[in-house]
Amino acid sequence: MGSGSVIAQHYRWHRHQEFLRFLKRIDDAVPNDLDLHLVLDNYSTHKTSKVKEWLIRDPRFHPHFTPINSS
């Protein structure tokens, strides 16, 4: 059952460093026994090598990208 809580953070910049910081915040806030499905747009920040490496190292994160050119 979900908790109804929202994990959000505003950053001045939208680089891969901030996105990784946000992923780590989610990782710390959500119990380890739960899988996390991320619905992401195709913004280049979400697809950097550092982000891909981080997601591979933590198999409970499952990224799902929206189709290119979709609204």
Question: What confidence category does residue 36 fall into, taking pLDDT thresholds of 50, 70 and 90?
Answer: very high
pTM: 0.84
**Taking residues 57-68, what's their average pLDDT?**
93
Q: Is 19 exposed, middle or buried (0-12, 13-18, 19+ CB in 10 A)?
A: buried
Q: Whose CA is closest to 64, among 35, 34, 24?
A: 35
Average per-residue pLDDT in the chain? Answer: 91
Residue 2 has pLDDT above 70, yes or no: no
